[in-house]
Every structure is written in structure tokens, then in C-alpha cells.
Amino acid sequence: MVKYSMDITIILGAIVGLVLLYVLKVDWIIVMIVIGFIATILTIADDRSYKVGGFSAGAIGVVLYMFTIFVPRPVDYSYSQIPSDLAGGFVIAGITNLIFGFIIAVGGCALFGFIGGYIADNLFKKRKVEGRSKNFNKEYGRKQI
């Protein structure tokens, strides 16, 4: 299997995630877990960690958040109906919602990416083989024949 650096696996995971999310219409929680899993598996064994999956899913969380900012949902009311003395409160509330929405969106995506990376890290971890070392007889004072 081909192994890539962390930067490339984050980009590949994001591309696979966008395809799963928008082309195949898979639920976003499953997509974030798959992104974390794929990004962790494709990383070089020395750099492999569950954090790679979390970073990859967090990166796609930022992309999805920016997409939802520029493509808003329709609103049922018009701003001309709001009295001018209340308009300042709506602006502050909107900015607060944007900030907390960003934190929750990216944090949630990264959390599920960490879960996918943790699963991949535990499944494909190199196992240490326990056995005698080359200097076993010297370490324990046994004579060599």
C-alpha cells in the first residue's frame, strides 16, 4: 500500500469526504469517521497517529463551515420589519452565533475524525514481537555452549 506524508493524506481525506458527502449523499458523521480512518491509514507508519484523522476532518469542517456562510438558508422574515433600536442586538447575536457555530462545527468534525483515526491506529498498529534478545544469555549470566 502506498504511504503518503501527513499533508497529502489530509488533502486526500478531504477530497474523499467531499465525494462521499455531496456525490453519494452519506451522512456527515459517517463521512467524518471515514475521513479520519482513511487519512490515518495512508500516513507513513512513523507519522501515523489518530491526530492525523482529526486534522483531516477538522480541515473539511472548516471548508463546510465556509460553504454554509456563503450559501445561506432562506430566512422567513425581512430586516425591514425589525425596529432600528433592536438591530444592534441582532448584529451582536449574529456574530456570537458565527463564532460559536465555527467552534462547534470544527470541533465536532475533528472529534469524529479523531475517532476514525483511533480505530485505524489500533487496527493497523505494528505489534512488537516479544522474544529473546540476541544478548539473552549474557544478560542473565548463562554460559554459552
Percent of the chain whose predicted confidence (pLDDT) is above 70: 74
Contact 38, 16 (CB under 8 A): yes
Averaged confidence pLDDT in the chain: 81
Say if residues 43 and 8 touch (Cβ distance below 8 Å). Answer: no
Q: In terms of pLDDT, which residue wins out, 127 or 124?
A: 124
All residues at 6 or more sequence positions from 20 whose CB lies less than 8 Å from its CB, including other chains: 26, 30, 31, 34
pLDDT value, residue 100: 92
Of 12 and 141, more confident: 12
Q: What SS3 class is residue 122? A: helix
pTM for the model: 0.73
Place of cell 420589519: 81
**Grid coordinates of 80:** 425591514
Rounded to whole angstroms, how far apart are CA atoms 48 and 117?
9
Ranges of each domain in the chain: 6-139
Q: By percentage, how much of the chain surpasses pLDDT 90?
A: 28
**pLDDT (mean) for 68-73:** 81
Distance, in Å, from the CA atom of 109 to the CA atom of 54, rounded to the nearest integer, reads 8
Q: How confident is the model at residue 134 (pLDDT cuts 50, 70, 90)?
A: low
Whether the predicted pLDDT of 76 surpasses 90? no
pLDDT value for 132: 54
DSSP-assigned letters across all residues of 26-48: --HHHHHHHHHHHHHHTB-TTT-
C-alpha cell at 11: 488533502
Residue 47: how many other CB atoms lie within 10 Å? 14
